[in-house]
DNA sequence: AATACTCCAATTTTT
DNA sequence: TTGGAGTATT
């Protein structure tokens, strides 16, 4: 380990690093070297005799956890770091919960539901309770349940809490308490926890099992929390419990960057820390190493409009830098053009690479105009956020199999796959099974296993038995020491999913096939990566599932070295920095969002978000806003954002003319209409080479499927009864094909036909679609 | 079973 | 405008 590690730190940084025992709060301004302090402190602890096994370090993202681990390892120059417990709140708690699951009545292979899973459970419950999902919007209900868990409120407490009930009554949604109750029971029955449960159940575990609490209090003698300003009450209480014995709690955060209150975070946690823990040592990191003076000054001025902050004075030794360029365009499309032009120009003038630029917006929906203009200029880019890999339908379907194999209690996932691929288990059968399961207080799966006893017959019984046998054979595989990859391959083969997707030659089908391959590859990679802590069965299916349930695509193919302009929401940009930043869409109702201007608290959070956006920039910052933009299909006019008025004029340059010659005068007041001559450039030029997009994005727009078959002039349908496999037939739309199979009774014949020119295998119901026999 | 349609809603989202 | 969900059509 390096000896001079303390010498590389400034005064307050060193103070933070060398404080070993007792509560410590590090207030770390943007760009003040927070991660460096955290990692160095861990190294310092180890050097001073603390055992790595006794250190717990919690972050919010996998990425942050990974980076921390790597940096500690680098400082130490040894593998001692792998004994540290570094991870996200969710992944660390999931692991502990897995170890103690039986105490709470959960299987140790419990499934983790993401928010889509959770919402679909809520939908079925709304159905059961005969509630209207227009009024009880699943999203909203989920939000209420999530908020309840994040503030450690059980369904019973929720239903008996006066204030909460009042609130629901006023919103005319009195049933949310019951829905919460049913939801919690359903999840438990399914052996599943949602993201919030990972915190809530962890709290319950520590609260109700003193021996468990004692065990972990003694294991985790030193606790570090990153991004403390974004913790919620559940996380707060857990930390309090875990840290109670030693109070060696070190929190790091910046109240000015608290931007997740809508996810339950309370800024109070950091504001109150000193009061919560006596003798707290407070260290403020106020020197910024990231940005120019201009950028930092603007940020400081703007955030100064917020009340109730921890007083601090962020400063920098960096150069003055250029003024902030404030640019107004007439439309959102022009805004896109301006940014793309400017990127091209800056690359030439200041020798930037694509990866030096980042475009930051308030909402994902704003990305479109930038995508278009970047594509038109052939500038490679990558969009972060949006639909994640693991949310794609084909991926979820496939993972459902794996989840069911590892936890058959999970009714939701069974229902997802029981008839995918189609195997003749329809709605009626599923409903019957559900009724039986309820009546006999059994799981859905157990009813399937004993289908014969429940009176299922004939083809249905056969289909169910086939499904059960198949799943059981996978389970047997998983238990016989086959690793996750072997099982996954078997699933792909036996279910026919891989083959089915392979045969689908449409563009989307191809993308789906590739996604599945990518998934299989990632499973393979998982099984082949050496285990970190040498735990047994580490490559099992269960471990794999546990891990990926907590993964987001930000953690995935984040190739730092790929040279692409980055596009993301401001939320997604927290913790990152870029030489040149474009902060776009600075308009009232967009930013600040019209949803968040009703209370002072909401508005202040928007302002913090703006602060985060500004402080991402190292040397150049462009802020743009459009006079009018399309929103939900119609052109709307927006006033310039109020935040623009909060930036002192002396740091601004309103005359930047961009890469081309375009209107760039400004004035946050009403400086009249522009002299733009491209006001009408809405018309879409066809996108040129989409070479720059990435696999992160959903599949490219489907090309027109080649189904434009012109039927033969003598086309006359033939009698379905005479058709047999092997015959060549013609379909009015799909063209010529070969029958590979026939099924169904006389009055409802179904032919499986391979159409080489129209996307491969299709099932044709002969009652409706007509076929003509070409060759017997 | 697959498709074609109609209608409706629409922040941010570390896990 | 987009996308999803639900319904109707073949």
Tell me the per-residue pLDDT of A323-380, one tens digit each, with 9 for 90 and over: 999 999 999 999 999 999 999 999 999 999 999 999 999 999 999 999 999 999 999 9
A506 annotated as ligand-binding: no
Say if residue A759's pLDDT is above 80. no
Q: What average pLDDT score do residues A285-309 get?
A: 95
Q: For residue A366, indicate whether it is catalytic.
A: no
Q: For residue A34, indicate whether it is catalytic.
A: yes
The active-site residue out of A13, A59, A257, A316 is A257
Q: For residue A226, indicate whether it is catalytic.
A: yes
- Give strand C nucleotides closer than 7 A to any protein Cβ: 1-4, 6, 10
pLDDT for A677: 30
- Contact status, residue A398 vs residue A516, Cβ threshold 8 Å: yes
Q: What's A775's DSSP letter?
A: E
The Cα angle at residue A25 between residues A23 and A29, in degrees rounded to 5:
170
Say if residue A200's pLDDT is above 80. yes
pLDDT for A357: 96
Q: What average pLDDT score do residues A198-203 get?
A: 97
Say if residue A1's pLDDT is above 50. yes
The protein residues having a beta carbon less than 7 Å from any atom of strand C are A 123, 133, 387, 630, 632-633, 698, 765, 768-769
- Contact status, residue A57 vs residue A86, Cβ threshold 8 Å: yes
pLDDT for A555: 60
The active-site residue out of A196, A227, A587, A606 is A227
A32 annotated as ligand-binding: yes
pLDDT for A656: 83
Whole-angstrom CA distances from A567 to A302, A333, A582, A619 are 24, 16, 10, 18
C1' (B14) to CA (A115) span, angstroms: 14
- Rounded CA gap, A161 and A153, in Å? 9
A593: Cβ under 7 Å from strand B? Answer: yes
A29 annotated as ligand-binding: yes
Say if residue A15's pLDDT is above 90. yes
Give CA A356 to chain center in angstroms. Answer: 24
- Rounded CA gap, A451 and A202, in Å? 37
Closest nt by CA–C1' to A759: B2
The mean of the pLDDT values for chain A is 85
DSSP helix/strand/coil, A552: coil
pLDDT for A87: 93
pLDDT for A669: 36
Backbone angles phi, psi at A731, to 5 degrees: -120, 145
Q: What average pLDDT score do residues A227-246 get?
A: 95
Lowest model confidence (mean pLDDT) among A111-125, A132-146, A676-690:
A676-690
Say if residue A230's pLDDT is above 90. yes
Within 8 A by CB and 6+ apart from A770, the residues are: A717, A731, A732
Say if residue A748's pLDDT is above 90. no
Say if residue A686's pLDDT is above 50. no
pLDDT digits (tens, 9 = 90+) for A588-631: 999 999 989 989 999 999 999 999 999 999 999 999 999 999 88
A636: Cβ under 7 Å from strand B? Answer: no
Q: What would the 3-class secondary structure string for A212-235 be?
A: HHHHHHHHCCEEEECCHHHCCHHH
Closest nt by CA–C1' to A123: C5
Protein chain A, residues 186-225, with a C-beta closer than 7 Å to any atom of nucleic acid strand B: 195
Closest nt by CA–C1' to A596: B11
Residue whose token pair is 């084909």: A394
Lowest model confidence (mean pLDDT) among A161-165, A451-455, A488-492, A768-772:
A768-772
The active-site residue out of A100, A109, A194, A226 is A226
Lowest model confidence (mean pLDDT) among A22-36, A228-242, A683-697:
A683-697
Protein chain A, residues 516-555, with a C-beta closer than 7 Å to any atom of nucleic acid strand B: 550-552, 554-555
Most confident of A131-140, A354-363, A726-735: A354-363
Most confident of A183-192, A380-389, A760-769: A183-192
Top pLDDT among A235 and A656 is at A235
The residue that minimises its CA distance to C1' of C9 is A768
Q: For residue A230, indicate whether it is catalytic.
A: no
In Å, the largest CA–CA distance within chain A is 93
Which residues, in sequence order, are bridge partners of residue A620?
A580
pLDDT for A603: 94
Most confident of A22-31, A308-317, A538-547: A22-31
Task: At A333, list the tokens.
Answer: 């499309």
C1' (B8) to CA (A174) span, angstroms: 24
Q: What average pLDDT score do residues A221-230 get?
A: 96
The active-site residue out of A18, A35, A159, A460 is A35
pLDDT for A428: 83
Q: For residue A462, indicate whether it is catalytic.
A: no
Lowest model confidence (mean pLDDT) among A98-102, A361-365, A524-528:
A524-528
Task: At A175, list the tokens.
Answer: 């049933």
A34 annotated as ligand-binding: yes
The residue that minimises its CA distance to C1' of C2 is A632
- Rounded CA gap, A237 and A242, in Å? 9
Q: For residue A616, indicate whether it is catalytic.
A: yes
Which residues, in sequence order, are bridge partners of residue A629?
A636
Q: Which percentage of chain A shows pLDDT scores above 90? A: 58
A232: Cβ under 7 Å from strand B? Answer: no
- Give strand B nucleotides closer than 7 A to any protein Cβ: 1-3, 9-15
A35 annotated as ligand-binding: yes
Return the axis-axis angle of helices A138-150 and A233-243, rounded to nearest 10°.
20
C1' (B3) to CA (A426) span, angstroms: 19
């Amino acid at each position: 380990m390096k000896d001079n590690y303390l010498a590389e730190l400034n005064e307050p940084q060193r103070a933070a690093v060398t404080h070993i025992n007792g509560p410590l709060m590090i207030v770390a301004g943007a760009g003040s070297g927070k991660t460096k302090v955290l990692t160095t402190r861990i190294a310092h602890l180890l050097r001073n005799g603390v055992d790595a096994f006794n250190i717990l370090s919690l972050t919010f993202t996998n990425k942050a956890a990974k980076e921390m681990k790597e940096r500690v390892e680098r400082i130490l120059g040894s593998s001692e770091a792998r004994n540290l417990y570094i991870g996200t709140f969710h992944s660390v708690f999931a692991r502990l919960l897995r170890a103690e699951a039986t105490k709470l009545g959960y299987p140790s292979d419990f499934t983790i539901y993401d928010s889509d899973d959770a919402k679909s459970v809520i939908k079925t419950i709304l159905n059961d309770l005969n509630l209207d999902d227009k009024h009880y919007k699943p999203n909203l209900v989920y939000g209420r349940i999530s908020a309840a868990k994040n503030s450690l409120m059980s369904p019973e407490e929720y239903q008996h809490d006066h204030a909460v009930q009042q609130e629901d009554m006023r919103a005319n949604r009195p049933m949310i308490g019951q829905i919460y109750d049913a939801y919690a029971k359903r999840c438990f029955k399914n052996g599943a926890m949602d993201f919030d449960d990972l915190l809530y159940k962890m709290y319950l575990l520590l609260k109700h099992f003193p021996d468990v609490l004692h065990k972990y209090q003694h294991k985790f003698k030193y606790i570090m929390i990153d991004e403390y300003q974004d913790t919620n009450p559940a996380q707060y209480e857990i930390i309090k419990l875990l840290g109670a014995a030693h109070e060696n709690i070190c929190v790091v955060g910046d109240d000015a960057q608290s931007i997740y209150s809508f996810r339950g975070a309370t800024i109070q946690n950091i504001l109150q820390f000193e009061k919560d823990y006596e003798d707290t040592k407070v260290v403020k990191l106020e020197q910024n190493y990231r940005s120019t003076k201009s950028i930092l000054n603007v940020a400081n001025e703007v955030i100064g409009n917020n009340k109730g902050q921890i007083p601090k004075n962020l400063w920098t030794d960096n150069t003055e830098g250029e003024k902030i360029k404030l640019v107004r365009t007439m439309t959102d499309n022009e805004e896109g053009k301006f940014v793309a032009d400017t990127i091209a120009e800056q690359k030439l003038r200041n020798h930037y690479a694509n990866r030096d630029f980042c475009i930051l917006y308030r909402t994902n929906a704003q990305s479109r105009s930038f995508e278009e203009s970047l594509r038109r200029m052939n500038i490679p880019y990558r969009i972060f956020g949006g639909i994640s890999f693991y949310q794609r339908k084909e991926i979820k379907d496939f993972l459902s199999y794996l989840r069911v194999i590892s936890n058959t209690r999970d009714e939701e996932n069974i229902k997802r796959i029981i008839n995918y691929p189609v195997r003749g288990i329809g709605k009626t059968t599923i409903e019957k099974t559900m009724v039986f399961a309820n009546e006999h207080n059994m799981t859905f799966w157990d009813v399937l296993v004993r289908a014969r006893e429940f009176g299922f017959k004939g083809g249905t019984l056969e289909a169910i038995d086939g499904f059960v046998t198949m799943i059981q054979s996978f389970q047997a595989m998983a238990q016989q020491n086959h690793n996750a990859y072997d099982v996954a391959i078997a699933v792909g083969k036996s279910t026919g999913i891989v083959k089915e997707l392979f045969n689908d030659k449409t563009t989307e089908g191809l993308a789906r096939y590739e996604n599945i391959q990518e998934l299989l590859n990632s499973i393979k990679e998982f099984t082949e990566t050496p285990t970190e802590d040498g735990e047994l069965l580490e490559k099992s299916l269960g471990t794999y599932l546990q891990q990926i349930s907590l993964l987001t695509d930000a953690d995935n193919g984040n190739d730092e070295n790929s040279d692409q302009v980055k596009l993301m929401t401001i939320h997604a940009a927290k913790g990152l920095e870029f030489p040149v930043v474009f902060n776009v869409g600075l308009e009232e109702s967009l930013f600040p969002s019209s949803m968040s201007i009703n209370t002072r608290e909401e508005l202040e959070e928007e302002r913090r978000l703006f602060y985060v956006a500004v402080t991402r920039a190292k040397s150049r910052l462009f802020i743009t806003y459009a006079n009018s933009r399309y929103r939900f299909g119609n052109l709307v006019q927006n006033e310039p954002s109020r935040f623009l008025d909060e930036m002192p004029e002396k740091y601004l340059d309103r005359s930047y003319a961009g890469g081309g010659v375009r209107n760039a005068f400004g004035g946050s007041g009403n400086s009249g209409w522009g002299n733009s001559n491209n006001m009408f450039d809405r018309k879409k030029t066809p996108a040129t080479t989409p070479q720059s997009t990435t696999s992160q994005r959903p599949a490219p727009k489907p090309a027109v499927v080649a189904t434009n078959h012109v039927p033969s002039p003598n086309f006359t349908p033939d009698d379905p009864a005479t058709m047999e496999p092997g015959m060549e037939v013609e379909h009015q739309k799909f063209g010529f094909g070969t029958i590979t199979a026939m099924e169904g009774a006389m009055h409802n014949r179904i032919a499986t036909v391979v159409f080489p020119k129209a996307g491969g295998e299709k099932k044709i119901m002969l009652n409706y679609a007509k076929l003509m026999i070409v060759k017997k």
